[in-house]
Chain A
Amino acid sequence: MTNLSRRTLLQAMGTGALATALASLPTFAQDRTAIRIGYAVSKTGANAGGAGISTIPNYLLWVDDVNKAGGLELSKLGVTLPLEVTEYDDRSSAEETVRAIERLATQDNVDFILPSWGTGSNLAAGPTFDRFGFPQLAGTAVTDMAPQLAQRWKNSFWFLGGGHDYANALVNLLVKQRDAGAINNKVAIASVADGFGIDLSKAATPAFEAAGFELVYDKTYPLGTSDFAPIINEVSGLGVDTFVAFSYPPDTFALTQQAVVANFSPKVFYLGVGTAFPIYPNVAGPNHNGVMGVGGIDPDSEAIAAYFERHTALVGQAPDSWASAVTYASLEILGQAITRVGDLDKSAVAAEIASGEFDTILGKVKLVDNQLRALWTVGQWQDGKFVGLAHTEGKAAREPVVPKPAWVPAS
């Protein structure tokens, strides 16, 4: 027994040491032929859906766009280099995300790292990005902690705002409608019992109450709920003109269908993540028209229209109308910051991102305290586009259509 265990111990240590040694062989210095971009995204697991819509296509598109244009010019090095990608699957695990970034930073020696999808993975990756000094462009993290996080991790940039931004914008919009007499005072809220739903409902409930709305229904439903008949049936008898669901994609689609089936057609029908997805009109059919949700785009922007076209051509489907354009804009900012700095100095690029003004598909963008504060917060499907109704800077692309058209009964 003693003999055996000692031997096994040595074996185990030997295997470990060998593998570690193999893994830590340095990549040989070579003449630079490309700017190395690395990312670990969730290709499998719980986050794969979100990553597959908002994150991965935009990474692909940006690399494609930059390389088609010949690459990025590095004036201090006197070269223009294309982008070269190293990608991993973090399998929707926070531990995997952290280790993949360590691998990208120290084994693959990439020049810049793009983050994974979602609030949780961006927060999990924060300390690691910070330790290696990489700028972190969190295009898909919604957190009210963004100001504190940006202070804690100086090279982190937060592009998608916090729960309060979206909740308050919705309440302000509804106050105007109520005061104009378009809707009554009663509101029903159903939220998914998970990060996004809780964050938004936590912000929305007091905001609605402070605005004098009567919350006749304010409940959560468990993640993974598939039967929404009880919720819709209960709410439809309460006489509300406004139905708000801080929901996730499968629920967003199911809630729409259930509301149509039950012929519950409130004047304002607002849903969460998934409303802005390009497939929503396919799911809801003619009934997508007038549905509100989180996000939005500027339907009159030529840059956005061109971006939708390029995205559709490369990926095969249109981008979503919330985080996609923001994610793409964050990459444009990275590219322009690299060109302006003229080499691959991470901290200089981060400093430029923090202080510079950039020309993106969202228009001219300048970050405030490492955050993008110019955000579309409430959108509505109008004429086949998910148009922005409210913006953190107070502008609106379109006027809200209230009441929305009545449901066309499901055939």
Chain B
Amino acid sequence: MILLVSLLALAALAAVPFFVGAYPLGLGIGILGYGALATAWALFSGPTRYISLATVAFFGIGAYTVAVLADLMPYPLVLLCAALIGLVVALLVGLATLRLAGIYFVIFTFGLAELVRQLVTYYEVNVTRTLGRYVFLPIGPEHIYWQLLGLLAVTLALAFWISRAKIGLALRVIGDDPVVASHLGVRITRTKLALFSLSAVAMTLAGAIQAPRWTYIEPSIVFNPTVSFLTVIMALLGGPNRLFGPLLGAVPLFLLFEWLSANFPNHYSIILGLLFIAIVFLLPNGVLAAWDKFAARLKNKEASA
């Protein structure tokens, strides 16, 4: 039943490019892109409660891989390479740092994004002597849309499977109390590493898929820290512990951003900042949790009446 509904929804969404114009399609790409990023982010950060700001590091690595390799090999192979590079970086980084916890991890991940950006810049400046790279691929917006839709579907399926599988339980225990988890025999670092890498690969692919849309890639474009922050705020708004939580945060927020930038181009940043504060204060556990709470209260009222 679930499978059928999911497949139907997927088919309906896949048909969207045939019916809408360029602008709604652009919106769709934005929503799917952030939906995939937020879902991938919540894959690791939801259960473990490790707030990661490294999203854009992997996103940018994906985009750069496409820029570097696009002329050298067929496109599917490029995507595969991007995924592999994302995986290797995530494993290296994860091995070195997943023993960090709390605020140290947040700071480290933020630093990681900057580190990767500086490394790419250093390499481009001193070795290749070209900072901007051109991506000329015969990939239209509808192809990007379909690829992102596929990525989102796979990420959601993965999240669904993990929430049912042993590894998901292990992660939740780690998130609740790492000491208890290790006493229970959960291999903490290995579990975290596996999830961190999966999530990173999805983020890398999100960057790789969207690269052809920009034509021109340079570090300041693809390693823009705003991407990391938006991803976090979207996942938090929806609720990072639910399957559709991050997506439910990404869709309304993205549309809201779009509406704000279309109607309040000069006050966008101010309104956005106020909104972030409001989300953190009013909905600390996300919309879905707030909804549950609200529903429970209604039930209580009915019961007592």
Verify B136–A152 contact, CB threshold 8 A.
yes
CB under 8 Å from chain B, chain A span 382-411:
none
Residues of A within 8 A of B22 (CB): 102, 105-106, 131-132
Contact A15 B244 (CB under 8 A): no
Per-position contact with B for A1-28: 1 when CB-CB < 8 Å, else 0?
Answer: 0101110110111011001100110000
Chain B: number of interface residues, binned into ranges: 35 or more
Given known A5-B243, A95-B30, A106-B21, contact A120–B261 (CB-CB < 8 A)? no
- In the complex, the number of residue pairs spanning A and B with C-beta atoms less than 8 Å apart equals 145
Q: Is B130 an interface residue (CB 8 A)?
A: yes
A132 contacts across to B, CB distance below 8 A? 22
* Interface contact A88-B261, CB-CB below 8 Å: yes
Stretch at the interface among A190-198, A288-296, A366-374: A190-198
Proximity string of chain A (148-181) to chain B, C-beta cutoff 8 Å, 1 when within and 0 when not: 0000100000000000000000000000000000
Chain B nearest CB, measured from A189 CB (Å): 13
Contact indicator A19/B124 (Cβ below 8 Å): no
Given the known inter-chain contacts A8-B248, A124-B214, please indicate yes or no for A89 contacting B255, CB distance below 8 A.
Answer: no
Does A119 sit within 8 A of B, measured CB to CB?
A: yes
> Are B255 and A19 in contact, CB atoms less than 8 angstroms apart?
yes
Is A193 a contact partner of B131 (Cβ separation < 8 A)? yes
The answer, yes or no, to whether A107 is at the interface (CB within 8 Å) is: yes
Please give the distance in Å from A8's CB to the nearest CB on chain B. 5
In the complex, residue of chain B having the shortest beta-carbon distance to the beta carbon of A99:
B26
Task: Count residues of A near B (Cβ-Cβ below 8 Å).
Answer: 54
B contact patch SS: helix
Give per-residue flags for B60-99: 1 if the beta carbon is below 8 A from chain A beta carbons, else 0. Answer: 0000000000000000000000000000000000000000
B2: CB under 8 A from chain A?
Answer: yes
Check: A93 CB closer than 8 A to any chain B CB: yes
Residue of A nearest to B221 (CB): A94
A198 contacts which of B124, B242, B265 (Cβ < 8 Å)? Answer: B124
Q: Quote the shortest CB–CB distance from B136 to chain A (angstroms).
A: 7
Q: In the complex the two chains form, what is the Cα distance from A34 to B214 in whole Å?
A: 32
Q: Is A43 an interface residue (CB 8 A)?
A: yes
A235 contacts partner chain B, Cβ-Cβ < 8 Å: no
Chain B residues in the interface with A (C-beta under 8 A)? 1-2, 5, 9, 20-28, 30-31, 118, 121-122, 124-126, 129-132, 134, 136, 210, 213-216, 218, 220-221, 224, 226, 242-244, 247-248, 251-252, 255, 258-259, 261-262, 265-266, 268-269, 288
